[in-house]
Structure 1
Amino acid sequence: MLESPLKLSSLGETGLQLTVLGLGTLTVSPSQNNLPVKQAGNLIAYAVDQGINWLDTADLYNNYDQIKAALNRLANPPHIMSKTYAYTASSARQDFDAARRALDLDHLTAFMLHEQESPLTLAGHQEAFCALLELKEQGKIDAVGISTHAVSVVRSLARAKVGTGSIKADQVPGQRAGRIEVDEQRAKADDKSKAETYVADKHNACNAENYDYSSISKREELQIPACYKEADFVFPLINRTGIGLLDGSWQEMEEASEHAARAGLGVLGMKLFAGGHLLSQRAEAVKTALSLDFVSSWSVGMGTQEEVDVNIDWFSGREPNPALLDITDATPRKLMIESWCDGCGECAKRCKSKALRLADGRMVVDESRCILCSYCAASCPNFAIKIW
């Protein structure tokens, strides 16, 4: 493994040191590029050899065999973070054991509840979350977290971490210098009056002595179970379009994530390219991501060695090789519905973005709404949904 050009960042109070760029392995999984196990393993190992020190996976991705193929090649395994949709303690333990056996590991860096949609779903998954906390106490995992596309979930976790009181602004990790200027520049794309209000609110939130949670909506004030105070980190969707959010705006998600960091939660970021919608603006998207100093690291899906090299360069503050940029720019991605689709509609039920509909007996994609998350593919009984 080469000496990593990527900076290390602390994940909240966990003691974990992660490179600022992690590898999202959904891209190589059967739901997306469906790379052969050996090819996927080689790509994952290549990313680790180039300096990335953590992998993002999930039970849903069905790709532990691909990761195992990489581990077989690596002398120093990366941190592995996985996720479960479990509601019950027994299911959570089963999903952890399945990951451990498939990867031939006794220990995983982190396990998360996957894709929590609201404070109500947090309450519904309480038993599974408590089981993950028990696994942590037993030394089988180092950290327990929550992945989500919902602003309300991030806010609720921050509230649980500190109670209903206020959070000191001086608890924000990192330097604040230049942050307001960045916000002002990014707010220019919005309605001017809203932008001015947003920048003013952000300035107050960043510099005032306390942050008052009274602005949180009534729905978000629902008390989530006390066990969530023990969460170590949150893994929200953050990008400057807001594509993929289940509630709120991109500004609100950034603000909520920053408040979570103040509360002591580690923050990982995902979907910074908005499921492919920002690939034409990748350099700016990475610059924006790195300006959010409350985010410890970002998970980015990469399907080729060229994409690995380009992203490592950007996240290291280097200009990528123009030839590599040309190669990656020439690789379009879109959701494809195969000809054997029978129009059962299971994928549309799974799609939170409302990007799928039935037409002439088969499903069609609204590309303006699709975030290329590929969760719909996991629900297809005929394996008729692909991303190419």
Structure 2
Amino acid sequence: MRRNLSKENLGKVRLGKSGLEVSRLCFGSLTIGPLQGSLPLDRGAALLRQAFLSGVTFVDTAQIYGTYPYIREALRGYKGDRGDIDDVVIATKSYAYSAEGMREALEEARRELDRDVIDIFLLHEQESEHTLRGHREAFEYLLEAKAQGWVKAVGISTHAVAAVRAAAAMDEVDVIHPLINMEGIGILDGTASDMLAAIADAHQAGKGIYGMKVLGGGNLHAKAPEALAWALAQPHLDAIAVGMQSERELEVNLRLFAGEAVSEENWQAVRGRGRRLHIEDWCTGCGACVPACPQGALRLEEHAVVDPARCLLCGYCSRMCRDFCIKVV
């Protein structure tokens, strides 16, 4: 990184009524792990460590991401501003729906992260009040774990407006991690305006809010300056998770979140990174994306398949995917 920015420039914010203080820039670790970037352990851990040293004290992960080893290695021997690794707040998530499944997920996180207490534990990708009821047993376990002191805050992550509204009405929810970007890419049941209205109500109810997918899963990479500026201007987003894979990307984000200018050279370097269309293995093969591709780059087998020679990374297909399976990475 060309120069270190002052940690004071990033500052910290309070995550709703959770009592947790975090940097507004949250390191979204999905991009360094096996589901996306597959960075070597030492390289991914070094990038995280550089983020910590630069004032990023908030990391987002999940049981499914496979990034616990990176975070653990990055924290090995690290001493934050308070003299211990508790300077870094870690949020993780699990799809578990039973008490036993969530117990195993929590124990895995504590073991693999080498932390007795997990700062934030969320139900992963909730869609509605109905989904929350279906995961109630797992959520009750998280509440018990919080009472025991094993978890500091609990809540949900979601791509749906309905789930934000349902969680906002639940006193037990501390933190909500919603999908939000300026074009509404990936929102299951509404527009960006609909999601912002739900986020505002949840924030008013005291929920800590940290946004995800502000670059639309990579589909807004060509509009990154505009998309990030838009997200930073939203008053009800306490923090924003951004995926990063390089020191250059980290530097750009540090400058943006610190209110500093980003050189055109840096923007061009970040935008010029090799990218590809990634289709998640949970694609159901509905086929809605195929006719949306103006280049004829998609075909349907058991699930959607992309022809890299035809794909222009326009992201039009991603807007048709209800399950947000398609990303530019």
* Bucket of the pairwise TM-score, normalised by the shorter protein: 0.7 to 0.9
Give me the whole-angstrom Cα distance separating, in 1, the residues matched to 2:322 and 2:26: 17
Which of 280, 283, 289 lines up with 1:348 in the alignment? 283
| 1:77-131: CA deviation from partner (whole Å, max 9, x where unpaired) | 3111100101001111110100110111101110000000122111100000111
Equivalent position SS for 2:224 = helix
Give me the whole-angstrom Cα distance separating, in 2, the residues matched to 1:96 and 1:24: 19
Unaligned runs of 5+ in 1: 161-227, 338-344, 378-385
Which of 213, 232, 239 lines up with 1:271 in the alignment? 213
Which of 156, 166, 185 lines up with 1:156 in the alignment? 166
Q: Following superposition of structure 1 onto structure 2, how do residues 99-114 of structure 1 map, counting pairs within 5 Å? A: 99-114=109-124
Displacement, 1:360?
Answer: 6.3
1:310 partner letter: V
Give me the whole-angstrom Cα distance separating, in 1, the residues matched to 2:175 and 2:303: 40
2:239 matched to which residue of 1?
A: 297
1:369 partner letter: C
Q: 1:90 to 1:350 in 2, by over 3 A?
A: farther
Equivalent position SS for 2:318 = coil
Residue 364 in 1 paired to residue 305 in 2? yes
Displacement, 1:62?
Answer: 1.2
Displacement, 1:376?
Answer: 5.2
Give me the whole-angstrom Cα distance separating, in 2, the residues matched to 1:64 and 1:70: 10
Q: 1:236 to 1:359 in 2, by over 3 A?
A: closer
Which of 237, 242, 245 lines up with 2:184 in the alignment? 242
User: Which 10-residue stretch deviates more, 275-284 or 303-312?
Assistant: 275-284
Contact 2:217/2:328 (<8 A) preserved: no
Residue 262 in 1 paired to residue 204 in 2? yes
Contact 1:286/1:315 (<8 A) preserved: no
Residue 53 in 1 paired to residue 57 in 2? yes
Give me the whole-angstrom Cα distance separating, in 1, the residues matched to 2:48 and 2:7: 17
1:196 matched to which residue of 2?
A: none
1:92 partner letter: M
Q: 1:362 to 1:284 in 2, by over 3 A?
A: closer
Displacement, 1:373?
Answer: 12
Displacement, 1:336?
Answer: 4.7
Displacement, 1:16?
Answer: 1.1
Which of 91, 106, 121 lines up with 2:131 in the alignment? 121
Q: How many residues align?
A: 304
Give me the whole-angstrom Cα distance separating, in 1, the residues matched to 2:43 and 2:324: 22
1:75 matched to which residue of 2?
A: 79
Residue 89 in 1 paired to residue 107 in 2? no
1:107 partner letter: V
2:264 matched to which residue of 1?
A: 322
Equivalent position SS for 2:240 = strand
Displacement, 1:370?
Answer: 2.7
Give me the whole-angstrom Cα distance separating, in 2, the residues matched to 1:243 and 1:6: 28
| 1:198-240: CA deviation from partner (whole Å, max 9, x where unpaired) | xxxxxxxxxxxxxxxxxxxxxxxxxxxxxx4210011101111
Give me the whole-angstrom Cα distance separating, in 1, the residues matched to 2:34 and 2:103: 24
2:318 partner letter: C
Give me the whole-angstrom Cα distance separating, in 1, the residues matched to 2:95 and 2:123: 6
Give me the whole-angstrom Cα distance separating, in 2, the residues matched to 1:102 and 1:350: 34
Give me the whole-angstrom Cα distance separating, in 2, the residues matched to 1:156 and 1:361: 34
Equivalent position SS for 2:260 = coil
Displacement, 1:75?
Answer: 1.8
Contact 1:65/1:103 (<8 A) preserved: yes
Give me the whole-angstrom Cα distance separating, in 1, the residues matched to 2:241 and 2:259: 17
Give me the whole-angstrom Cα distance separating, in 2, the residues matched to 1:370 and 1:97: 35
Contact 1:4/1:50 (<8 A) preserved: no
| 1:174-195: CA deviation from partner (whole Å, max 9, x where unpaired) | xxxxxxxxxxxxxxxxxxxxxx
Q: 1:122 to 1:362 in 2, by over 3 A?
A: closer
Give me the whole-angstrom Cα distance separating, in 2, the residues matched to 1:61 and 1:319: 32
Displacement, 1:354?
Answer: 4.9
Give me the whole-angstrom Cα distance separating, in 1, the residues matched to 2:323 and 2:186: 12
Equivalent position SS for 2:17 = coil
Rg bigger for which structure? 1
| 1:273-331: CA deviation from partner (whole Å, max 9, x where unpaired) | 11112222222222211221111000000010100000110111101233322211211
| CA RMSD, Structure 1 to Structure 2 (Å) | 2.7
Give me the whole-angstrom Cα distance separating, in 2, the residues matched to 1:283 and 1:323: 13
Give me the whole-angstrom Cα distance separating, in 1, the residues matched to 2:167 and 2:108: 27
Give me the whole-angstrom Cα distance separating, in 1, the residues matched to 2:63 and 2:131: 18
Q: 1:373 to 1:296 in 2, by over 3 A?
A: farther
Unaligned runs of 5+ in 2: 291-297
Equivalent position SS for 1:132 = helix
Displacement, 1:375?
Answer: 7.7
Q: 1:258 to 1:70 in 2, by over 3 A?
A: same
